[in-house]
Structure formats: structure tokens, C-alpha cells
Amino acid sequence: MGYIKKGVETMKKLFGQNVSVPSFGLASAQPWSSIFRKSWVSSLLLACLGLAMGTARAMDPRAISPVSIIPSAMTAQVGDRPVAFMAPPRLNRAYANRQRVGEAHPTYYLTFQLPEGAAVPLTRLMVELSEGRRDFLFHYQLEATVAFVGTPESRGESIDFGELSQDRQRKSITLDFEPAIAPGQVVTVGLKPERNPRFPGTYLFRVTGFPSGDLVAPSFMGYARLGFYDTDQRGPIFR
């Protein structure tokens, strides 16, 4: 009825005050009926009603299609803009199961979460030494690297890798997941160097995540903080 009143108000301005809202059987509406005797008048009235309804819908935010307010970056790469996480992945925890310096065959566990709001899968992870004795060469046993859904205390399904590589100059290791990790998961990777550093102290590893796509914007996830100690002392082991 609100739309009809708007149309009637428009008609009153054009034809005077002898125009009323149709009663739809609830009251008399003779002035309205008399106007409709002229077909051109009824056409003009319907046009005014349609204009009023269209204006009302345009002003009503509830009438906006939800598709129109979804950022295009959530679903696809647009032009030359790189694909990026809408909600970035974050490193939750990191620890080494063996913390003595020089100890052989340790495992460095890194647990991270890819939020539901990330919108795109995570296809690659890079871990690079950022702080610590850089004269020590971390030699990772690539074939022994593992990944699984969940945490070390609550392991879920195993996750496969595509390509694994390491750069000894940058002291980094890169893991490609195949298939990529979908948003909404907690994942743990287990890196297996041949041995721990020979020097005690705290070592920081920068963790970076890469979304799926040809042109992507990597996301810094946090620092994995690992502590190693001599046999007569203990250092921090948790991030």
C-alpha cells in the first residue's frame, strides 16, 4: 500500500485532490474508478506507481543482491591483482621434540591454522631461518618431512606433498601441498633436519604461506621460536 500511496500523491499533483487510494473492497473508491475511465490516465498512473516502487527498492538496502557485495578477490584473481588471503593464516605453535645441541634426527613441529575466511586454499609453505647462528647449515631430510591435519597430540589425516626443496644459502625449506589446504583447517608440518644446531640459544624461523594461483601475494604467518641448550642447561622450547 505504501507504493500505491506514493503513486496517488503524484496523481494528486497532476489531477488535483479528487484522487484516493483504492479500497480493494474495504471502502468506496469512486474517485479512483472515475480516473480509470480514461485509458491514458490509467497508463500514466501505473507508470507513476512503477516509478515509486522502483525508487523504494533502490533506497532499501535489503533489496540489494548479496552477490553484489561479495569482493571479487574472494573468488578469483581480477586482472593483474595478485590473489591474497582474505583472512591470513597464522602460526599457532612450534617446538622441537629434541632440544639438546647437536642431537641427531630431531623433528621441528609447526602448527598453523588457515581460517574459514581465508577464501582461497594454501598451496605452499616456506620456513626460513631469520635469527640465530647463521653459520650453521640446516640440512633437512626432505623425504622424511610429514604433514597432517590437527596437532602433534591429536593427529588426523595425513597430507601429501607435491614438491619439496631447500635452499642452504637462505637456510630455508619450501613445501608444496598437493592438494592445497582448504580454509578452515588446523595443520601441522614436521621438519626433520639431520641434527640440531651445535650452538645453544634461541633460533627464529620465519614462516610464510602462499595462496593458490598464478600471481599471488604471500602472507607472513609468524615466527617459529625454537630453543636449544647444552646438556647442563635448558632453554625455551615453545613458541
Tell me if 130 sits within 8 A of 109, measured CB to CB: no
- On whether both 110 and 192 belong to a single domain, the answer is yes
Q: Residue 117: what pLDDT?
A: 96
Amino acid at 39: S
What is the reported pLDDT for 10? 55
Q: How far is CA 132 from CA 16, 38, 120, 199, in A?
A: 87, 90, 33, 9
Cβ(4)–Cβ(21) below 8 Å: yes
Question: Do 206 and 96 reside in the same domain of the chain?
Answer: yes
Residue 239 lies in a domain: no
Confidence (pLDDT) at 40: 46
Domain that holds residue 34: 2-66
Query: Which pLDDT score, from 0 to 100, does residue 13 have?
Result: 56
Residue 164 lies in a domain: yes
- The answer to whether position 138 is within a domain reads yes
> Is 169 a member of any domain?
yes
Same domain (yes/no): 175, 109: yes
Q: Which of 25, 50, 66 is the last residue of a domain?
A: 66
How far, in Å, CA of 100 to CA of 235, rounded? 9
Q: Domain for residue 85, yes or no?
A: no
Q: What is the mean pLDDT of each run of 10 residues along the chain (239 residues)?
A: 53 52 45 45 49 44 29 46 95 96 95 96 96 75 96 96 92 96 97 93 96 94 95 50
Whose CA is closest to 110, among 138, 151, 49, 162? 151
Rounded to whole angstroms, how far apart are CA atoms 36 and 44?
10
Q: What's the count of helices (H) and strands (E) in the chain, helices before strands?
A: 3, 10
